[in-house]
Amino acid sequence: MNDNTSLPEKDLRPGRHRHLKEHLMREIRQTPVPEAEEARTARRRKWLRPVVAGPALAGALALAVVAGIAMTGADGSATPVGREGKATYAFAPKVNADTTGGAAELLDRIATVAAHSPAGDTIRDDQFVYIRSRVAAATVGEGSETKLAALHRREVWLSVDGTRPGLLREPGGNQDNEVLERDPAPGELGYGQSTNYRHLQTLPTDADAMLKWLRSQGDSGDTERNPDQDAFVLVEGLLKESLMPPDVSAALFRAAAKIKGVVVVPDAVNAAGHHGVAVARYDAYNPGLRDELIFDSKSLQLIGSRSVATQATDSIEAGQVLSTAAVLERAVVDAKGRRP
Q: What is the pLDDT of residues 97-109, one digit of tens each?
A: 999 999 999 999 9
| Helix axes 246-256 and 103-115, enclosed angle (nearest 10) | 180
What's the pLDDT band for 144 if we cut at 50, 70, 90?
low
C-alpha to C-alpha distance for 158 and 88, rounded to whole angstroms: 31
Residues forming a β-bridge with 164: none
Q: Which of 154, 151, 177, 176 is nearest to 165 (CA)?
A: 177
Using one digit for the tens of pLDDT, what is the confidence trace for 234-264? 999 999 899 999 999 999 999 999 999 999 9
The predicted pLDDT at position 333 comes to 98
Of these ranges, 128-142, 290-304, 315-329, the one predicted with the greatest mean pLDDT is: 290-304
The predicted pLDDT at position 56 comes to 28
Q: Which of 60, 28, 59 is nearest to 143 (CA)?
A: 28
The predicted pLDDT at position 225 comes to 87
12: exposed, middle or buried (Cβ count in 10 Å: 0-12, 13-18, 19+):
buried
Helices (H) and strands (E) in the chain, counts: 7, 13
Q: Which of 225, 218, 219, 323 is nearest to 271 (CA)?
A: 323
The predicted pLDDT at position 84 comes to 62
The predicted pLDDT at position 85 comes to 74
Note the pTM of the prediction, 2 decimals: 0.78
C-alpha to C-alpha distance for 113 and 300, rounded to whole angstroms: 7
Burial 258-291 (b: 16+ CB within 10 A, else e): bbeebbbbeebbbbbbebbbbbbbbbbbbebbbb
Q: What is the mean pLDDT of the chain?
A: 78
Of these ranges, 4-8, 14-18, 78-82, 288-292, the one predicted with the greatest mean pLDDT is: 288-292
C-alpha to C-alpha distance for 333 and 314, rounded to whole angstroms: 47
DSSP H helices in the chain:
20-29, 35-45, 103-115, 197-200, 207-216, 227-240, 246-256
What's the pLDDT band for 146 if we cut at 50, 70, 90?
low
The predicted pLDDT at position 95 comes to 93
More confident residue, 316 or 155: 155
The predicted pLDDT at position 73 comes to 35
What's the pLDDT band for 299 if we cut at 50, 70, 90?
very high
The percent of residues above 70 in pLDDT, for the chain, comes to 73
**pLDDT over 90 at 16, yes or no:** no
Neighbours of 83 (CB within 10 A): 16
The percent of residues above 90 in pLDDT, for the chain, comes to 59
What's the pLDDT band for 200 if we cut at 50, 70, 90?
very high
Q: Which of 207, 250, 254, 248 is nearest to 114 (CA)?
A: 250
**Does residue 98 come out as left (phi exceeding 0), alpha (psi in the -120 to 50 range) or beta?**
alpha
Lowest-pLDDT range of 110-114, 160-164, 198-202, 219-223: 219-223
Lowest-pLDDT range of 69-73, 124-128, 154-158, 266-270: 69-73
More confident residue, 156 or 287: 156
What's the pLDDT band for 17 if we cut at 50, 70, 90?
very low
Lowest-pLDDT range of 5-9, 91-95, 96-100, 323-327: 5-9
